[in-house]
Amino acid sequence: MADDSDFILDGDTAEDPSNEGETHAIAVPEEAAGDRLDRFLAGSLPDFTRTRLQALIRDGRAVNAAGTVSEPSYRVKPGETWTLRIPTPIAAEPEPQPIPLNIIYEDEGLIVVDKPAGMVVHPAPGNLDGTLVNALLHHCGDSLKGIGGVARPGIVHRIDKDTSGLLVVAKTETVHHNLATRFASHDIDRHYRAVIYGRPNALEGRIEGNIGRNPRDRKCMAVRPGNQGKPAVTHYRVLSSAARGAALVDCRLETGRTHQIRVHMAHIGHPLIGDHVYGRGTKARRVALGNKAEAAASFPRQALHAAILGFVHPETGEQLRFEAPPPPDFNGLLSDLGLLKE
């Protein structure tokens, strides 16, 4: 799932890694030595297509005694036992629900919304309703159903549940395809505001590092070595700082991988305040905040806001650019940490 956003192409699964569903355990016989993992599993599980199995492998659902393998091209070895976890399917068609939306822009082809923190973008195990999709179906009516797929109608990209900010949603198949292609080719302008522990030595810079499933914890992402994972690039710029204890940064996504900003900032030693997944070891960092440490410790979510979204309108060719100010809780944290510019 794309944040800090990740784009969605037709057929993407966006499965919840905590949803285990059914499990298959398969031992590798001598005659299968050297087979690709996806080919071996396809031969052992005829009810699944190879494409489906490749997606499951990349999602970190194939595990052997050494850990998780996310490359379908991995060559299996005799004596290995592979465990493949198949997620439980969720309801194919979400129901409309009368949930208020903060609509920034809307026309016949698309809608731009400012999503509040705490709202999930589309139904998934554990969050089957109360999502942005449920609200959009109520707002748009039957016209949105099936656009880009029945499970996530209109959704082109995602941001995390606890991230606030801008999302564009397609209202026609043509617009959905065009926007998905633009996201895939990185032809979308996306800027986030993040509050981080510490202040980078370089006040602006480029973070590059492939992102993939963490082999030690498949529910998390990590910067992966070599050719593992998917290429990811984040550009950051410090906007304000409180000595060296905390900083407000602008992060521009060149790519859009799952948890990209959170993973990249933690990777360079500056995790987001409130990020309980990638912010391990932040207790010592709070010391530098002095009497402001409690404000950081008590912030209940990752301090991340999708602030700017720009793209060419697929139908009119007009260059669109939208900005959404951070919500009150985010601004309150900035104030408490002395990061608000006068």
Nearest Cα to 2, choosing from 211, 252, 146, 217? 211
pLDDT, mean over the chain: 89
pLDDT at 20: 54
pLDDT at 120: 95
Domains and CATH numbers, the chain: 22-86 (3.10.290.10), 91-185 (3.30.2350.10), 191-337 (3.30.2350.10)
pLDDT at 89: 65
Report pLDDT digits (tens) over 197-240: 999 999 999 999 999 888 877 778 999 988 888 999 999 999 99
Q: Rounded distance, CA 333 to CA 342, Å?
A: 15
Q: Rounded distance, CA 187 to CA 253, Å?
A: 10
Alpha-carbon dihedral 152, 157, 161, 167, rounded to 10 degrees? -110
Report pLDDT digits (tens) over 104-162: 999 999 999 999 999 999 987 777 889 999 999 999 988 898 888 777 899 999 999 99
> Would the pLDDT of 7 be above 60?
no
- Marked catalytic residue, from 6, 12, 114, 160: 160
To the question of pTM greater than 0.75 for the whole model, the response is: yes
Q: Which residue matches tokens 């608000």?
A: 340
**275 is annotated as an active-site residue:** no
Report whether 16 contacts 124 (CB < 8 A): yes
pLDDT at 6: 59
Interior/surface letters 148-183, b for 16+ CB within 10 angstroms, e for the rest: bbebbbbbbbbbbbbbbbbbbbbbbeebbbbbbebb
